Amino acid sequence: MMKLNTLNKWRSPGLICLSLALAGLTMMLSTGCTFSDHPEIPPGVSRELAEQRAQMLSQIRYELTLTIPDAVDQPIRGALIIHLHLRDASRPLVLDFKTSSRNLLALRVQGRSVEYTYANGHVVIPSEALQPGENVITTTFIASDVALNRNPDYLYSLFVPDRASTAFPCFDQPNLKARFRLTLDVPAEWRAVSNGETISCRIHGPRTTYQFAETSPISTYLFAFAAGRFDVETAERHGRLMHMYHRETDANTLRRNAETIFDLHGRALDWLEEYTGIPYPFGKFDVVLIPSFQFGGMEHPGTIFYRADRLLLDASATQTEKLGRASLIAHETSHMWFGDLVTMEWFDDVWMKEVFANFMAAKIVHPAFPDINHDLRFFLTHYPAAYSVDRTQGANPIRQPLENLSEAKSLYGAIIYNKAPIVMRQLERLIGEAPFRDGLREYLNTFRFGNASWPELIDILDRRTEEDLKSWSRVWVEEPGRPTITTELRLNDDGAIASLVLRQTDSRGRGLIWNQWLNVLLVYPRGARYFPIQLNSERVRVAGAVGLPAPEFIIPNGRSLGYGLIELDPVSRRFLLAHLPEERDALRRAIAWVTLWEEMLEGQVTPRTMIELALRLLPGESVELNVQRLLNDVVTAYWRFIPTTVRSELAPRLETLFWRLMERASTTSLKSTYFRAYRSIVLTEEGVQRLERVWRKALTIPGLPLSERDLMTIALELAVREVPHWSEILDVQLERIENPERKTQFAFVRPAVSADTATRDAFFESLKSAENRRHEPWVLEAVRYLHHPLRARQSITYIRPSLDLLEEIQRTGDIFFPKRWLDATLNGHSSQQAADIVYQFLDEHPDYPWRLKAKILQSADGLFRATTLLKRSVVGDE
Ligand SMILES: [Zn+2]
């Protein structure tokens, strides 16, 4: 039974009067402090500092009061009381406060003013002021806005991985978990939400004061709050009350999505309680939907933040978007156990929380989509993305050393989110499902409300298997790259298999062996045979295949269990290129397609051949996940891997086919998938005119309702194609947009599609100011249009300055921004000149931060390969 209602005047129950903790703010006396340089403490939290503090400190409690002013340009003032236990008071105590010394207004220890120093974002309290056992630090300060995402009528914190200390003084490292008690003083019309339950909410004149219950022990990066003009939906699932804070103005959008959002959270919570054997550990459960939030979601315990448009889907949402939403919700909910209840000791193991979140999400999403082939989904979600990094020169290992938390942001990427779940599935296969789950239960119970490292988990799992998990982990987790897996088939004179051997090699020459299970697939006209084998040495025989007749084709990675660059034998490759559309099994079609695509990137198959194969596959492809993959790859090859002349030649065929398949599609979701592909490839005059008629609503597509967002994109696509009156189209579109946030976004992106080069230049210039990069999703959309392949000749001039900006972007941007900035900059290019700019940049910066250099190499890989593939097609390889 569920209840759902919009409570516009929602207030938490039980309004309790409280004396303002803020009073403390004004009562604080200014201290006779001194500031001096402390060069021995480097900026950021070094591993050394973190280890030292972890030994000294325990039982930390923060009582934090923040006053959010009415105007966005006024500073946020704060008062803080820190309680902590010191094992050893013989050394100075280092607090993190990554702003300016001027922002620290007062600081007292045990009620007395102290001679502290401020250096490199740290407040150093001398040992004389400290005592063994309980200590109390009180401070008043001005919070820096860096991680507070302030807007005129709302704000939200985003502290991962080390930004809590930009807002208030604290010990900003994941293994110093603390209890937080927050008081927020906000404009009277605002609502506020945080990790803890709202225990009181007091309106006093033009202000409201919210007081939140003390949290369980959580890491600083997980502490969060949001406040502003939010509406709230409430629902109950299995006796658990949930609130959804949002700013959506369209009642239809809300009605269409709210129940599903609550359902998905309710089911994820139930599943996780069952799997882990541990009840939801954080009391209350709320979600906050934030427009243009930097990530899909962030797992703050008790108050998950989401990017609003990932949860509030349009009526034209594709199946992929619906599955994506379910996975995202399952992912963030899994974090409540994996990451929040048990947290990595240090950010080098950040991948652990992400892998478990994705791994559990894959399991949780199954029952909610009974019609989906989940092996297929796992394959298509994880393999192409993992390969996209692992095939590059910039590939990184899953677990990366980290010397300073200030670099933690650069650890994230496809290897953590996509390769690690594949590896974890291998681990589960190696140990067995039940022992694996029992191991995880032991791990969660042993370290609950605490921290653990990967080796500590491996110790627990190692006791449950005969396998040598430590060597296994060294190759899969501590090293980058993938094996090359080849088949060696020998036939007898009578055509029967004399021997079938699988061989793995390390293309990087390290001689690594990726111990893994494979399901070798042999396909015959009358069916398929699978042979599970453990590839735990360089060469392994598939003994069961000996004596069988020669198959039509062999894929070493049947059922998508294994991981590596699969090199097909020539017979199998020829057969698949000719007959793949006849394959009846959807997963086999997907595996074969992805395998051939990887072969294309290695130069074994031409891009033109792959496009032609896709055009033959699509009319018969009934599985939407496969359609999505094929269209995605065709669009990539179309813009990037074939010469312009071939593109013009192919355009009419692609447009006609996509339009026809859209009209024929039986679901809105599939129609939408084809329509979006059409919209992105359309080039002929006739095709573009048709798109314009759709935008003008002179042509409707039966069964496909277009949302405000769809129309916005169409207008931008028309402008980038420089249709007559493109400027007027943009004007009208801007006028049409009803949602105020989307209106601002459209106005922001608009100059990036202008046909006027000077306007685009000026827009690019504006991005050099960090202030103009605040709304990262908007920036990325605009940068993608700036570098649209149709504009590549001109936008090539932005590549070098974009690379020059990268270090600053790393500093000012959020976790995923640097890589996405690079992708948006480079993905529209395929010329040798563009590649040369990247090579030259790398040559000129031999000492460039290596993690950032790796990101450049990852993002530029497609560009480098494009230049090679295009050269081949010019010399007549097609
Ligand atoms: Zn996550």
| Distance in angstroms (rounded) separating the CA atoms of residues 95 and 811 | 21
Residue 446 to residues 300, 336, 436, 454, Cα–Cα distance (Å): 22, 16, 15, 14
Helix (H) or strand (E) holding 781: helix 776-786
| Distance in angstroms (rounded) separating the CA atoms of residues 158 and 509 | 42
Q: Given this model, what pLDDT does residue 828 score? A: 97
Q: Given this model, what pLDDT does residue 326 score? A: 96
Tokens at 576, concatenated:
């698949």
Q: What does the CA dihedral 59, 62, 63, 69 come to, rounded to 10 degrees? A: -170
Distance (Å) from CA 769 to ligand 1 centroid: 29
Q: Given this model, what pLDDT does residue 875 score? A: 56
Distance (Å) from CA 339 to ligand 1 centroid: 8
Distance (Å) from CA 423 to ligand 1 centroid: 17
User: Which residues share a beta bridge with 759?
Assistant: none
- Contacts with 310 (C-beta within 8 Å, 6 or more apart), sequence order: 296, 297, 324, 325, 328
| Distance in angstroms (rounded) separating the CA atoms of residues 241 and 235 | 6
pTM of the model: 0.86
Distance (Å) from CA 400 to ligand 1 centroid: 17
pLDDT along the chain (878 residues), means of 10: 32 33 34 43 94 96 98 97 96 96 96 94 96 98 96 96 97 98 97 97 96 98 98 95 95 95 96 97 97 93 97 90 95 98 96 92 87 90 96 95 89 91 91 95 98 95 90 94 96 95 95 94 94 95 96 91 93 97 95 97 96 98 95 98 96 98 95 97 98 97 93 98 97 95 96 98 97 94 98 98 96 90 98 98 96 96 97 63
For 216-234, the three-class secondary structure string (H helix, E strand, C coil) is CCECHHHCCEEEECCEEEE
Beta strand 150-151 with 133-143 is unpaired
Distance (Å) from CA 84 to ligand 1 centroid: 30
DSSP 72-92: TTSPEEEEEEEEEEES--SS-
Distance (Å) from CA 345 to ligand 1 centroid: 16
Ramachandran bin of 669, using left for φ above 0, alpha for ψ from -120 to 50, beta for the remaining angles:
alpha
Q: Comparing C-alpha atoms, which of 213, 353, 233, 217 is closest to residue 281?
A: 217
Q: Given this model, what pLDDT does residue 57 score? A: 96
| Distance in angstroms (rounded) separating the CA atoms of residues 646 and 873 | 10
Distance (Å) from CA 505 to ligand 1 centroid: 32
Q: Given this model, what pLDDT does residue 316 score? A: 87
- For ligand 1, a single-atom ion, the residues with CB < 5 A are 354, 357
Q: Is the peptide bond before 846 cis (omega within 30 degrees of 0)?
A: no
CB-facing half-sphere around the CA of 861: CA atoms within 13 A: 19
Q: What are phi and psi of 853, to 5 degrees?
A: -60, -40
Distance (Å) from CA 325 to ligand 1 centroid: 13
Q: Given this model, what pLDDT does residue 467 score? A: 87
Distance (Å) from CA 389 to ligand 1 centroid: 19
Q: What is the pLDDT of residues 473-505, one digit of tens each?
A: 999 999 999 999 999 999 999 999 999 999 999
Q: Given this model, what pLDDT does residue 580 score? A: 97
Helix (H) or strand (E) holding 324: helix 319-335
Distance (Å) from CA 173 to ligand 1 centroid: 18
Distance (Å) from CA 305 to ligand 1 centroid: 11
Residue 369 to residues 275, 312, 418, 674, Cα–Cα distance (Å): 19, 18, 21, 22
Distance (Å) from CA 376 to ligand 1 centroid: 22
Distance (Å) from CA 350 to ligand 1 centroid: 9
Distance (Å) from CA 417 to ligand 1 centroid: 8
Distance (Å) from CA 412 to ligand 1 centroid: 10
Distance (Å) from CA 157 to ligand 1 centroid: 17
Place of tokens 């393999």: 383
Q: Comparing C-alpha atoms, which of 721, 713, 727 is closest to residue 676?
A: 713
CB 766 within 8 A of CB 758: no
Residue 775 to residues 99, 150, 292, 558, 736, Cα–Cα distance (Å): 21, 11, 7, 43, 22
CB atoms within 10 A of CB 5: 11
CB 211 within 8 A of CB 200: yes
DSSP 699-715: S--TT-PPPHHHHHHHH
DSSP 789: G
What per-residue string of b and e applies to 482-513 under the rule 16 or more CB within 10 Å gives b?
bbebbbebeeeeeeebeebebbbbbeeeeebb
Distance (Å) from CA 353 to ligand 1 centroid: 7
Tokens at 575, concatenated:
């057969």
Residue 769 to residues 762, 781, 819, Cα–Cα distance (Å): 12, 17, 18
Ramachandran bin of 245, using left for φ above 0, alpha for ψ from -120 to 50, beta for the remaining angles:
beta
User: Which residues share a beta bridge with 232?
Assistant: 245
Distance (Å) from CA 216 to ligand 1 centroid: 20
| Distance in angstroms (rounded) separating the CA atoms of residues 543 and 548 | 11
Tokens at 632, concatenated:
């995605």
Distance (Å) from CA 185 to ligand 1 centroid: 30
Distance (Å) from CA 257 to ligand 1 centroid: 22
Tokens at 704, concatenated:
């496909």
Distance (Å) from CA 354 to ligand 1 centroid: 5
Helix (H) or strand (E) holding 128: none
Q: Quick one: angle between helices 251-276 and 350-368, nearest 10?
A: 110
Q: Given this model, what pLDDT does residue 874 score? A: 63
Amino acid at 525: P
Q: Comparing C-alpha atoms, which of 444, 479, 442 is closest to residue 462?
A: 442
3 state DSSP class of 731:
helix
Q: Which long-range contacts (CB under 8 A, 24 or more apart) does 59-62 make?
A: 59/83, 59/84, 59/85, 60/84, 60/85, 60/171, 60/176, 60/177, 60/178, 60/179, 61/178, 61/179, 61/180, 61/181, 61/214, 62/168, 62/170, 62/178, 62/179, 62/180, 62/181, 62/223
Distance (Å) from CA 143 to ligand 1 centroid: 27
Distance (Å) from CA 299 to ligand 1 centroid: 7
CB 361 within 8 A of CB 334: yes
Place of tokens 């025989």: 541
Q: What is the pLDDT of residues 252-262, one digit of tens each?
A: 999 999 999 99
| Distance in angstroms (rounded) separating the CA atoms of residues 240 and 267 | 11
3 state DSSP class of 209:
strand
